[in-house]
Structure 1
Amino acid sequence: MASIRIPRGTQDILPGEIEKWQLIEEKARELCEKFQYNEIRTPIFEHTELFLRSVGDTTDIVQKEMYTFEDRGERSLTLRPEGTAAVVRSFVENKMFGHAGQPVKLYYMGPMFRYERPQAGRYRQFVQFGVEAIGSNDPAIDAEVIALAMTLYKEMGLKKLKLIINSLGDKESRTAHREALINHFKPRIGEFCTDCQNRLTKNPMRILDCKQDRDHELMKSAPSIIDYLNGDSKKYFEKVQQYLTDLDIAFEVDPNLVRGLDYYNHTAFEIMSEAEGFGAITTLCGGGRYNGLTEEIGGPEAPGIGFALSIERFIAALEAEQIKLPIKEKIDCYLVSLGEEAKDYTVGLLQKLRLAGYSAERDYLDRKIKAQFKAADRANAKYVAILGEDELKVNKINLKSMETGEQTEVQLDTFVEKFTELNK
C-alpha cells in the first residue's frame, strides 16, 4: 500500500526550523504593538464574490490561482488568496468605521492559498504577515506602513534591501493613463498573450505586470503613470517621498511598478532582496494604498493602505545573507533518575520546575543512567539533576552543571528555590 504524501506546493515545518518562524512572528507582534497595530483573525475561507469584487476579475489570482469550491448549500467559497480583502470585509461588517480611534490599524498572520507553479520560496499554501491602516488619507501613514515593514526586516538583521515606490494616482489620473495605455498597445495587441488581450479594455495597467510579454518593445516605451499624475496626486506622492526621507529610509522611484491587484491607487511599493544567490524572484514584500475598496465591499468611504509579506521568503532572505538567528537551543534542566521510586518522584519534580518557569525534561524510555546522560547532552541541558534511591532516602538530589562539571548536593524540598538562585 502506497504511503500518503504531502500535497504538492505545501510543506511541513519541523522542529529545528519552526523556531525561525516563531522568532519572526514574535518580532512582528512586538513591532505592531510599538506602532499601535492590533491583531485581527479572519476566516480561512470567504465567499468567492469578496475576491471577485476586491482583487479584480482580470488578475491572475482570480483567473488562475484561487482554490474555489461549492459547499453543501451550493454556495461558492474560496480559500483566501490574500489578506486585505478579508480584513476590509471585517472592517465594514463589524462597523469599525464607527470606532472612536481612527484610523483603524490592524495586522494579521496566517496561511494563504494560491494554485500556482511551486518553485523556490513559492508555495500553494504560504504564510503572510500583513498590516492594514484604514480610515486616513494622510501620506504620513503611507510612510509609517512602509517604515514598519523596513524596520521588521532590519531588526531581524537583513541589510541588502531595496525599496521601490511608485504612484498609481487618483481616479482622474488613472483614467487619463488608462486611455494612453489603450492607445499605445491597441495597434499591436495581437502580438501579446491572450491575458493581455483580455486586459486591454478591462484594465490595461495590468498589461505592464505581464511576465510573459515583459520583454516586448512596447513595454519599454509604454506611457508612464508619473506623466499623467494630476496636481493632487503629484503633491501626495511628493509628501510620501518627503516623509520617507525624514525617516531616513532610502528608496527608488520606479514608474513601472504595478501591483498585481486591482484595488491599488496612489502609493504602491515593493521591498526587494539584493542578496547574492537569493533567486530570480527578488520581491520580499508588496503593498500600497487602496482608496475605494471599502465602498466596493459595501461600506462607507474609508481610505486604506497596507502591505503583506511572505514568511517563507523572509527566511530565504535571511539564509541568503547567512544571518544566524538567536534561537534558544538549551534546556534548563534534565532530570536523571535511578530506581523505580526515584523515577516516580521526578514526575512531580519536573512539573514544579516547569511551573517555576524553567524548560525541563526527564527520561520516558526506562534508559540506563549512561543513556539518560546522553539524552541530556543531546537536549543541550545546562544542568542535570540526578536522583537515586539513596538520595531519595536522605531527601537530597545532586545538581551538575554541564558546562563546568561542578556538582552540588541540594535538599529535595528546596531544590526549585536553589535552582532559581543558581540561575540568577
Structure 2
Amino acid sequence: MTPAAADAAAQDTPTAPGPARGRATFAALRVRNFRIYVTGQLFANTGVWVQNIALDWLTLELTHSPAAVGIAMALQFLPILLFGMHGGMIADRYPKRNILLVTQLCSASVAATLAVLTISGRISVTAIYVLAVVGGLVVALDNPTRQSFVGEVVPAQYVRNAIALNAAVFQTTRLVGPAVSSVLIGTVGTGWAFAVNALLYLGPTVTLSTMRTAELQPVHAIPRAKGQLRSALRYVADRPHVGWTIALVGVFGTFGLNFPVVLTAMASETFHAGAGLYGTFNVVLAVGSVVGALIAGGRTRTRLRLILVLAACFGAAQTLAAFAPNLTVFVVVLVAMGVSNLAFQAIANSSVQLWVDPEYRGRVMGLYVLVFMGGTPIGGPITGWITEHVGVRAGMAVCGLVPLAAALAVAAVLALRPVLARRREAAALAG
C-alpha cells in the first residue's frame, strides 16, 4: 500500500473491530503487565504534579515574576527541542524497559537535589534553572521511550485504549498531586514537596523491575546506521495525516499549554489568592482531563477530523476562560478546557502511534515529543512576557487563540486540497 493509500485508510478504518479488540473503556487493564505499569505511573505522576506545583510557586516566590516562571518552563523543555528525536532514536535501538529504569533513577536524583537545596536554604533561581535543564535532558530520553513502550506492554488491539488510560491515570494524579503539594508548601515548606517526589520515584522503579519480560512484545531493535533521523522525517513527510497531526500538536504544545505561567498569574493577580487556588485550578483541569481521556479511550476509529475539532474546542475554551467575568465562570470553563485538552492529546498520540510502523515508532514519537514539548522554550517566555507586560488575560487569550487559528487553518487546507486537485486535473485535461 502506498503512503497516500495508507493515509486514507488509516483515517477511516476502525483500530479494533469488536469488543475483544478494545471497545471497552478499560480493556487494556486485562493485560497484567499493563496493570503493573499503570500502578508505577500512579506513583511517578503524583510526584510529578507535587513537584511541578512546588517548582512553579517557588520560582514565583523567589522572583515575583510570571516571566521567570515561563523561563523555568522553557529551560525544562529546551533539551527536548534539541535532543527529542535523538531520544526517540535511542528508544528504537535499545530495550525500552532498561532505559526507563535508568531515567527513573535520574529523575529521582534531580528531585532529591532540589529538596536538599531548598530545605537547607541554598536554593536560588540560578539553581532552579540549572536543574530544570538537567531534568529536561532526562525527559528528552524518558518521554519518547515511555510513549513507544506502551506498544510493547499491550497487544496492538489495546494500544489506543492503553494510551488513553495512561493519560487518564496521569490526570487522575493531578487530582491528588496539587492538593498534596499545596498542603506541603503551606505546612512544612516547598523543599519537602521535592523530597516526596524523590521518594515516589521508587514506585515506577519497582514496578518496571517486576514486569514479566516474557509477556512483553518488544519491537526488533534497529542497528546503528547513518541517516536514521532523516529517514524518519521522510517517513512522516510521506504520510500527510501523520504530519498534520504532529504539526498541530506542536502548535498546541508551544502556545496552548502554558498553564504554569497563566494559571499562577490568574490565581495571584486576577483572583488575589495564593498557592491553594493555583492547586485548585490544576485539580479542576484534572477533573475535565480524566473525562476527556476516558472519552478518548472509548474511541475505535482514527480520524484527523476529530483531532481538528478537539483542538479548536480547546482553543475556544481557553479564550473564553481568559475573559471569564468571575471565579465561578472561570472554573466551569477550566473543566471544558480539561476535557478537550486530554481528548485531543490522547487521540492525537494514539493515532500517530497506530498510523506508523513499529520500527519507526520511537523516532516518530521522538519527533512528536520534540514538537509537543520542545516548543515550550519558545511559547513559555512569550506567554510570560505578554502576561507580565500586557496582562494575564491577554496572555491566556493568546494561548487559546493560536491553537484555535491553527486548527481552522489546517481544516481549511484539507478542505481545499481536493478542490485544488480537481482544478489541476482539469487544467491537465484542457492542456
TM-score range for the pair, normalised by the shorter chain length? under 0.3
TM-score normalised by the chain length of structure 1: 0.21
If each structure's strand is expressed as a fraction of its own residues, which one has the higher value? 1
If each structure's helix is expressed as a fraction of its own residues, which one has the higher value? 2
Rg comparison, structure with higher value:
1
Report 1 or 2 for greater relative contact order, CA contacts < 8 Å, sequence distance ≥ 6: 2
TM-score normalised by the chain length of structure 2: 0.21
